[in-house]
Homo-oligomer: A and B are copies of this chain.
Amino acid sequence: MAVKPDIEIAREADKRPIQEIGATLGIPPEHLLPYGHDKAKVAQDFISGLSGRPDGKLILVTAINPTPAGEGKTTTTVGLGDGLSRIGKKAAVCIREASLGPNFGMKGGAAGGGRAQIVPMEDMNLHFTGDFHAITSAHNLLAAMIDNHIYWGNEQEIDLRRVVWRRVVDMNDRALRHTVTSLGGVANGFPRESGFDITVASEVMAILCLADDLSDLQRRLGDMIVAYRRDRSPVLARDIGADGAMTVLLKDAMQPNLVQTLEHTPAFVHGGPFANIAHGCNSVIATRTALKLSDYVVTEAGFGADLGAEKFFDIKCRKAGLHPDCVVLVATVRALKMNGGLQKDELADENVTAVTEGCANLGRHIQNLKGFGVPVVVAINHFIGDTDAEIAAVHDYVAGQGAEAYLCKHWAEGGAGIEALATRVTEIADAGMAQFAPLYADDTPLWQKIECIAERIYHAHEVTADTRVRDQLAQWEAQGYGNLPVCMAKTQYSFSTDPGLRGAPEGHVVPVREVRLSAGAGFVVAICGEIMTMPGLPRRPAAENIRLGADGEIEGLF
């Protein structure tokens, strides 16, 4: 079947008024706060009233390690939601919001692809409902209040060299990575080194996505560490008096956004934390709301399962008390071939050997996921060029791992192309087979948590770190932060810290270069390798070709 470009499909979508989508979930129109005719926020008052209701089943969509060939994790998340709707189930999809800045570098992205998309695609790539702008404002208000506090006498005795709270902007702007601020004389404060990150890297973003409600949001914002004194004791956002005003700025942003798939399945698109220095999942409040309002909720996590699913389980589910019922692990024949050693320009011809070799990556993820006590099904996201022999090789391999694989054609056919997987997922979820448990206990020492993830998920031989890093972890344990989970920041392209090592490497070393404490979000970040928190624009940014055409349509964004 010929499929048009994503943007054409999205523009031709037969969108229903958002009130109709809300009605399928039982949300009365007065509790839907519309943003135009095709987007809405679900009112906090309505959400608060849902707490007594039973939860639907929670299905996580994750993937093998990403390759340039593409896996289609979001496409499968959306397609599975539509597949569930097609077989008569009350389903909803939960995904993350897109960041504005990167769209002006490379082209903007669809939420899904082909016949499995969420709309309105253009709004979702631009300002959407303003959540990220609210996060930017709240983050930068705190930054302004810190410098203002220092300016007016520094009662908290902040060490100017140890202000760890930077500023953010939702833009790819390398010029802001390292700055000196407060220049220009006495009236402008005390000059100091600082810089900007992109908004999705803000701890405020991670907090918005983990908070139970507005009062939990305010408490967590207050807990954030913004600086240290000369005696190394932390200064919190609460000490600066910023937590209340930040909460007020985030009041609307905390309400989940409701949109729809091309086939009118309700989709909650809310929050978008980085998947390296943060946990990479959509908001807890959106997931919980979806679970209260529908029988099956399909959600996804960032990057491959080694990072995304592990953080989904060990951070989001642990902290929010969520109990996933089934995991769908997405693979494509093309991506397996690349994991089997092929380059991107070698994917056109049939190569069953490469597929089979690449399946080692798939197999490792299957076993890892089973370790969390949640049943795993493999979705083979079909590409036009896949051959029957290649697909059969995947089926055989997965069967050998004690799991099932389903060929899914949702990209070309929408929900109709993924009915078999949808049916099987409901069977598994309804059977209550899952016995979810996180990987490690809360009271495991921080360093052992890192070792546990590296050994059991990455199959590493050893974790290394300077004394400085280990001392820092010990200090945080002494300060009462020892029971936090760990958020690993490493390359998404490999189980190891070497992005070139595809497949299922073993015996490698994981070097922990730096650790950071996100005390408000509630995790310790272990950074393994270079992590960029402020991207730059390419030589020829997409922005140069973006404009409004004569017909009022946006050109060049996609």
In contact, A144 and B247 (Cβ under 8 angstroms): no
Per-position 1/0 for A97-115, Cβ under 8 A of B: 0001000100000000000
Which of B173, B241, B547 meets A247, CB within 8 Å?
Answer: B547
A433 at the interface (CB under 8 A from B): no
Residues of B within 8 A of A44 (CB): 552
CB distance from A272 to the nearest CB of B (A): 16
Q: Mark A177-196, 1 if CB is under 8 A from B, else 0.
A: 11111111001110001010
Q: Is A383 an interface residue (CB 8 A)?
A: no
Separation in Å of the A129 CB from the closest CB of chain B? 8
Query: In the complex, what residues of B have CB within 8 A of residue A153's CB?
Result: 539
Among B100, B249, B541, B548, contact of A126 (Cβ-Cβ < 8 Å): B249
* Residues in B neighbouring A446, C-beta threshold 8 A: none
With a CB–CB cut-off of 8 A, which chain B residues contact A140? 169, 171, 173
Q: How far is the CB of A419 from chain B (nearest CB, A)?
A: 35
Interface residues of A in 503-558 (CB under 8 A from B): 536-537, 539, 541-548, 552, 554-557
The reply to whether B127 and A245 contact each other, CB–CB distance below 8 Å, is: no
Q: CB distance B174 to A547 under 8 Å?
A: no
- Tell me the nearest residue of chain B to A176, going by C-beta: B181
The quantity of this chain's copies bound in the complex is 2
Which chain B residue lies CB-closest to A43? Answer: B36
A498 interfacial contact with B, CB 8 Å: no
Once A214-B548, A218-B547, A552-B214 are accepted as A-B contacts, the answer to whether A177 and B173 lie under 8 Å apart by CB is: no
Cβ proximity bits A28-72 to B, threshold 8 Å, 1 near / 0 not: 001001111100000010000000000000000000000000000
Q: How many A residues touch the partner, as a band?
A: 35 or more
A184 and B177 contacting across the interface, CB-CB below 8 Å: yes
Main DSSP-derived SS at the A contact region:
mixed
Q: How many angstroms between the C-alpha atoms of A474 and B547 in the bound complex?
A: 35
Does A172 touch B at the CB level, under 8 Å? yes
Encode contact with B along A348-380: 1 for CB under 8 Å, 0 otherwise: 000000000000000000000000000000000
Q: Please name the residue on chain B nearest to A193 by beta carbon.
A: B183
A210 interfacial by beta-carbon distance below 8 Å: no
> A247's closest neighbor in chain B, by CB?
B548
CA–CA, A152 to B539, complex, Å?
A: 6
Chain B positions within 8 Å of A539 at CB level: 152-153
- Residues of chain B within 8 A of A214, CB atoms compared: 548, 552
Verify if A251 is at the interface (C-beta below 8 Å from B): yes
A203 CB within 8 Å of chain B: no
Which residues on the B side are within 8 Å of A309 (C-beta)?
none
Interfacial chain B residues near A248, Cβ < 8 Å: 126, 546-548, 554, 557
When distances are taken between beta carbons in the complex, the residues of chain B under 8 Å from A541 are 145, 148, 241
Task: Give A556's nearest chain B residue, CB to CB.
Answer: B244
A170 at the binding interface (Cβ < 8 Å): yes
Contacts of A148 in B (CB 8 A): 173-175, 536-537, 541
In the bound complex, residues from chain B placing their C-beta under 8 Å from that of A544 are 145, 241-242, 244-245
Which residue on B lies nearest to A146, using beta carbons?
B175
Which chain B residue shows the least CB distance to A542? B245
A222 to chain B, nearest CB (A): 10
Given contacts A153-B539, A180-B183, A183-B193, 19 further A-B contacts (CB under 8 A): A33-B37, A34-B35, A34-B36, A126-B248, A133-B136, A133-B137, A141-B171, A144-B172, A145-B541, A148-B536, A151-B174, A184-B195, A215-B548, A241-B541, A241-B544, A242-B543, A244-B548, A244-B555, A245-B544
4 A-B pairs with least C-beta separation: A244-B547, A178-B184, A241-B544, A133-B133
